[in-house]
Amino acid sequence: MGIIMSSDILIVTNGTKESFPAIEQGAWLAADLNLPIMLLGITERLDPAAIDSTHPLEDVFERAIGVFKAREVAYRLEVRNGSAEKVLPYEAKQNESIVVLGPLGRPQLQRMMAGRSIRHFIEEIEQPLLYVPETRVPVKKILIAVGGLGYDVNAEHIAMQVAVKSGAEIVLLHIVPPIDLNYPTAQAVSKNWQHLTETDTPVGRSLRKSLENAQAAGLSASVKVRHGNVIEEIVAESQEGNYELLCMGSSYSVHSLRQMYSANVTAEIMERVRCPVMTARFRDASV
């Protein structure tokens, strides 16, 4: 099992209550992986008239410190001014952090005009990213979406590290989409989707390898295959299986035509599920 070299857990808040689950989940992750925390508070709107009033980050920082102390994790606090879309990608580049953030509690009109910020962050942040709409701790059941194209290897490694430390069960999920392509591999996958791990297809070999890695690490692991629309089936499985963590790869760093015509699957899923979602970009270890 590969080791993801992370320097710390970078947790982001803009002071809204919607961003607090990221602090709770991030503190749990830091304790699990034995990593220090940098809590980055972003002041998005400075009100010159409110110079004597409580800073919007003050209450959140005070609550966060209580959470960090309870988890017995090392932490430091930083504050930056500006929009999260500009500040966070810059700060993330400074270290090999795992970035943890949640909804930023923007007004609905702003979200409609500017779009969901999570899509911007997935594009701009190269480090592993954990999106937390609501707190789910402790993590005892992890769903890893395995595409079979190798994009998910880093997300899988992080998920397995978390599982080893927390004793979580792992379910490896592959979705076989409806296929009308007339070539042998696609037909073999579509025809044998209910027992893919027994096939000599790239996906079958990938699933077997993932299962071997998990079992070699002493984890309780199983494979689940569903048939249908990729986004719909991943969302359905995450809801039906009561998982505390969903892990997915990202092809953003892979220069391929797929990106130009396929929906951003990760962002679509992050916008629809309630459990935390970890995504990590593909990185070629041979480079």
Residue 86 and residue 183 share a domain: no
| pLDDT value of residue 174 | 85
The reply to whether 202 and 257 lie within a common domain is yes
In a domain, 50, yes or no: yes
On whether both 182 and 113 belong to a single domain, the answer is no
8 A C-beta contact, residue 37 and residue 26: yes
CA distances from 67 to 6, 46, 193, 211, 244 (A): 21, 26, 44, 35, 19
Query: Final residue of a domain: which of 81, 105, 131?
Result: 131
pLDDT in tens, 105-140: 876 655 544 456 788 888 888 889 999 999 999 999
8 or 151: which carries more pLDDT confidence? 8
Q: Which residues lie across from 170 on neighbouring strands?
A: 142, 221
Last residue of a domain, one of 112, 131, 150: 131
105 and 186 housed in the same domain: no
d(CA 149, CA 203): 7
Residue 255 has pLDDT above 70, yes or no: no
Q: Among 125-129, 193-197, 226-230, name the one with the lowest average pLDDT.
A: 193-197
Confidence grade of residue 259 (pLDDT, cut at 50, 70, 90)? very low
> Which pTM was predicted?
0.84
In the chain, what are the helix, strand and coil shares in percent, each to the nearest 5? 45, 20, 35
What is the rounded average pLDDT of the residues 39-51? 74
Whether residues 151 and 257 share a domain: the answer is yes
Residue span of the structural domain in which 127 resides = 8-131
CATH code, domain carrying 62: 3.40.50.620
Give the pLDDT score at 260: 38
Tell me the C-alpha distance between 35 and 242, whole Å.
27
Residues 272 and 148 in one domain: yes
- Most confident among 41-50, 149-158, 214-223 (mean pLDDT): 214-223
In a shared domain, residues 263 and 222: yes
**pLDDT tens-digit series, residues 47-81:** 555 555 566 789 999 999 999 999 999 999 999 99
Give the count of domains, the chain: 2
